[in-house]
Structure 1
Amino acid sequence: MRLIQVLIPEGTRESVLTALDEQGVDYAVFDEVGRGDFEAMVQFPVPPSGVETVMDSLVDAGVKEGSYTIILPTETVVSERLSALIERFPGLRISREELYARAQDLAPANSTFFAFLILSTVIATTGLLLDSAATIIGAMVVAPLMGPAISASVGTILDDPKMTRRGVTLQVTGLLAAIATAAIMGFLLQQTILIPPDLDIRTIPQVVERTSPNFLSLFLALGSGLAGAISIMRGAGSALVGVAIAVALIPPAATSGLGLAFGLPGVAISAAILVLVNLLAINISALVLFYWSGFKPLEAGQFEGVRSNVFTRIVTIAIAIAVLSIVLGAVTWTTFQTESFEQQTKTAIQQDFDEANIEGVELVEVTVDYTPTDILLGNEPEVNILIGIPRNVEAPPDLAQRFDDQLTERFGRDVYVRVGFVEAQLSEEEPPSPPLGWPSIADGPFATRQGGYSPT
C-alpha cells in the first residue's frame, strides 16, 4: 500500500477531488498555508498498482509538474474499506513514478560505481587464478552492475535520454575498466612469485568455463535481466538479483583481461564475446519486460515516439545477439562433438579390453586431447592409451596403429593414437600363469595377426 500526498494548485481543488471520487479513493484534505501557489493538500492511500492510474487522473484534473507529489510506502493500513480498494486496483506492479525513482537510486555516483567495480574485478581475478568458485561469488556481491543495466532500460521506456545514456555509458566503460583491471593485475602478478612462472590459465577450470561460451550462457544472462526487472517492479530481492547479473558479466570480463595479460588472444576474444552477448541479453530482457508490463513515459503525449524507439532498440539488440550467437552456436556444436567423441572413444577401447579379457593385462587410462578449436582448425584428435602388462609379456609393436585403424573406421575420421605401457603387478597367493599370447578377437585391435605375439 502507498500513501500519496499531493499539493493542489490554486483553482483546481474541486476538479482534483472530483477525480479522486471517480476513482473511489478515500482522501483527507488539508488547507495549505505555505506558498501561495497551492490552496490545499490532499492525502490518500492506494495500492501500488493503482498509483499510476490515480496520478494520471490528477494530472488531467490540473495537477502539473510544478506541484509536489510524495509517494510513501506504508507498513500497515487498518480499514474495512481497504478490500474494495484492492479489488479496484489488482496487481503488484509499481507506478512509473516509483520505477523512475528506483532506477535513479540504483545507479550510484561515478566514483562509487568504479570503486566497487574495480574491487569486485580484483576479487574475481583472484578467484579465477585460485580456481575458487566461492571467491568469485564473493566478488559478485560487490559488483554494482545491476543499477546501470536497469536504469538504461527504464530511461528508454520512460523517455529519459539522460538516464539511458548514463546507464549505457556506465555499463560499457565499467566492463572495459574491468577488463583493463584484470589485465594489469595479471601482468603484475606474473612479475611476482605469487603464481607459477609456467602457469597456463587455459588449464584452470574456472577460466575454461568462461572461454567456452555456449547457449546456456545466454540463458543465464536473459534470466538475470528478467529477474532484475521483476525485482524492481515488485520491490523484492534486488540485491540478490544484482549478484546474478554480476555473475554473467564480471568473471568473463576478468577472464578476458587475464587473456590479454598472458598473451592469449583466443582467451581474451572468446571471453570478451561472452561479456558482450551477456550484456546485450540482460538489457534486451529487461527492456522487453518493462515494455510488456505497460510502462509509459511520464509525458503521455510522448508514448508513440517512445514505442518506436523501444521497438528499434529491441530489434537492433536482437540482431546483434543473433550475430554473436553464431559464435555461441559454433562453440556449442563443437563442444558437443568433442565430448561425444571422447566418450565414444573411451567406451570403444574399454569394450575391446573387456572382450579381450587378457590375464594380467589391464587398461589403466584413456585420455582424449580434442578441443573445439581442433575441430575448427581441422586437427586430428589425439588418443592416449596407457596399458598395464606383466613383465614377462611382450608389448605388441603395432598396437597403436591397430587402435588407429579401428577408431578411424568406426568414427570416419583420422585420429592419432599413442599407446604407452607400464609394468603391472598383481598380488596373489600363487602367481598367475604367464599368458600364452594376446588373444584373438575378430576385427579388434587385439586380433592375432600372422605369427601372433608370444611372451618373452
Structure 2
Amino acid sequence: MLHLRLITPSGTTDDVVRLIGATVGTAHLVVLPGAARDPAGDLVLCDVAREAADDLLAGLRDLGLDRTGSIAVEGIDLSLSERADQAEEDAPGEGADAVLWEQLSEATHEESTLSVTYLAFITLATMIAACGVVLDNAILIVGAMAVGPEFGPLAGVCTALIQRAPRLALRSLIALLAGFAVAMAVTVGFTYLMDALGQFTRVQLEAERPNTNFIYRPDAFSFVVALLAGVAGTLSLTSSKSGALVGVAISVTTIPAAANAAVAFAYDEYRQAWGSTEQLLLNLAGITLAGTLTLLAQKHLWRRHRTSPPSTTTR
C-alpha cells in the first residue's frame, strides 16, 4: 500500500474526493478542511494499493493538483487493516508488477543529474578499478562495480525513450558521457602519478592477468550479460527492490572497461584501450536496449491487464 498526502485548494477538494472514491483500491480517506497553510487549502489523506496508484496519480495531475496544491506519496511498510486488505484485493493485478511512472521519472531524474557527487562516485570507482586491472585483483574490480553510479543515467535514457521525454534523455546522456569522460581523464592522470611513484608499471598492464583480462576481450557473453543486467536493473527500479541493483552493478563491466581503457591509453597500449572501449560500448548498448524493452513490455502487459475483465473469487 501507498499513502497519499494531498494539499487541495478548497474549490478542488470535492473533485479530489470523488476521484479517490471512484478509484478501485483506495482506503482510509481523511479530509481536514482548512488544515493546510502553505499552500493554503484542505488536507486530504488516503491509502491506495500500489497497482491502482498510477491511475489515481494521473487523475490528480489532470485536476492540476501538482500545480495548485501538492501530491506526496509514501510507502507503507505495515498496515493492519481489513479495509486495506480488501482494497488490495479489489485493485487489478499485483502490486509487484505495477509501474509507478511518476515515481520512476522522479527517481531517474535524480539519479541522472550531472552533479559533483555523481562525478566523484564515478571517478573514484574508475580509479579503484584501475588499481584492480593493474594488480589483476578481481576483488577491487567487484568493489569498483558496486561503487559506480552509471546505472542511474542508463535508466534515465530508457525511461526517456518510453515516455518520449527529450529533456530527460538529454540530461541522462550528458551525465553518462560527461561522467565517463571526466572519470577516464582523471584516471589517466592517476595512472601517471602511480607510475611515477612506482606502483603502476607497463609490465603489469601487459601481463597475462588471468583474473581481469576479460575486460579488454569482449565477446558475445559480454552483450548477453549486459542484456540480462539491463532487465534485472529495470525490474529492480520499477518494483522498488533497490537491493537488486547491487547485483546488477557487479555483473556488468562498464566501470572496469573505462578504467582499463584509461590505463592502457596512459601507457600507449592502444590494443587494450580499443578492446576495453568495445567492452564499454557493448555493455552500455546492451543495458539500454534491455532496459527500454523491459519498460515497453511492462507498459504493454500492464495496460492489457487493466483492460481485461476482473476475475471472480470466492471468499
TM range (shorter): 0.7 to 0.9
CA–CA separation in structure 1 for the residues paired with 2:205 and 2:82 = 69
Match of 2:214 in 1: 209
Rg (Cα) greater in structure: 1
Aligned with residue 126 of structure 2, among 99, 121, 127: 121
Aligned in 2, Cα 1:198/1:44: closer, same or farther, shift over 3 Å?
A: closer
2:104–2:237 CA contact under 8 A, matched in 1: yes
Structure having the larger proportion of residues in helix: 2
Q: CA deviation at 1:268?
A: 0.9
TM-score (norm 1): 0.59
Deviation, structure 1 residue 166: 1.8
Task: Please report how far the alpha carbon of residue 59 of structure 1 lies from its aligned counterpart in structure 2 after TM superposition.
Answer: 4.1
Equivalent of residue 226 in structure 1, options 220, 227, 231: 231
What TM-score, normalized by structure 2, do the two folds share?
A: 0.83
Distance 2:37 2:102 in 1: 24
The residue aligned with 2:250 is: 244
Deviations 1:158-196 (A, max 9, x none): 344333212111111222233333333334444443345
How has the CA–CA distance of structure 1 residues 109 and 172 changed in structure 2, closer, same or farther, with 3 Å as cutoff?
A: closer
Partner residue of 1:29 out of 28, 31, 43: 31
Which amino acid is 1:115 matched to? A
Is 1:261 aligned to 2:257, yes or no? no
Aligned to 2:305: none
SS at match of 2:299: coil
**1:4 maps to amino acid:** L
**Higher deviation after alignment, 255-264 or 185-194:** 185-194
1:38 positional shift = 5.8
Mapped to 1, the partners of 2:253 and 2:201 lie a distance apart of 28
In 2, Cα distance between the equivalents of 1:44 and 1:200?
Answer: 60
- SS of 1:30's equivalent in the other structure is strand
2:6 paired residue number = 6
Q: Please say if 1:83 is aligned against 2:92.
A: no
Q: Offset of 1:154 from its aligned partner?
A: 2.3
1:51-200 map, 5 Å:
51-60=53-62, 63=65, 65-89=67-91, 90-91=93-94, 92=96, 93-107=98-112, 110-195=115-200, 198-199=203-204
CA distance in 2, matches of 1:122, 1:61: 49
AA partner of residue 11 (structure 2): G
Letter in 1 for 2:70: Y
Structure 1 residue 290: Cα displacement? 1.8
Aligned residues: 294
Read off the aligned partner of 1:8 and give its amino acid letter. T
Percent identity for Structure 1 against Structure 2? 22
CA–CA separation in structure 2 for the residues paired with 1:36 and 1:179: 46
User: Which residues of structure 2 form unaligned runs of 5+?
Assistant: 301-315
Query: How far did 1:2 drift?
Result: 0.5
Q: Secondary structure at the match of 1:43?
A: strand
SS at match of 1:41: strand
Residue by residue over 1:370-419, the C-alpha shift from the partner in whole angstroms, topping out at 9 and shown as x without a partner, is xxxxxxxxxxxxxxxxxxxxxxxxxxxxxxxxxxxxxxxxxxxxxxxxxx
Spell out, residue by residue over 1:351-379, the C-alpha distance to the aligned partner (whole angstroms, 9 max, x if none). Answer: xxxxxxxxxxxxxxxxxxxxxxxxxxxxx
Match of 1:282 among 284, 287, 290: 287
For 2:84 and 2:132, locate their aligned partners in 1 and report how far apart those are by CA, in whole Å: 52
Q: Per-residue displacement from partner, 1:314-369 (whole Å, max 9, x unpaired)?
A: xxxxxxxxxxxxxxxxxxxxxxxxxxxxxxxxxxxxxxxxxxxxxxxxxxxxxxxx
Tell which has more relative contact order, 1 or 2 (C-alpha 8 A, sep 6+).
2
- The separation in 1 between residues aligned to 2:205 and 2:146, in whole angstroms, is 28
Distance across 1 between alignment mates of 2:57 and 2:106: 15
Instruction: Give the SS at the match of 2:160.
Output: helix
Greater than 6 Å deviation, 4+ residue runs: none
Per-residue deviation, 1:64: 5.3
Gapped regions of structure 1 (runs ≥ 5): 296-456
Deviation string, structure 1 residues 198-231 (Cα, Å, up to 9, x no partner): 4452522244212221110001211221121111
Match of 1:445 in 2: none
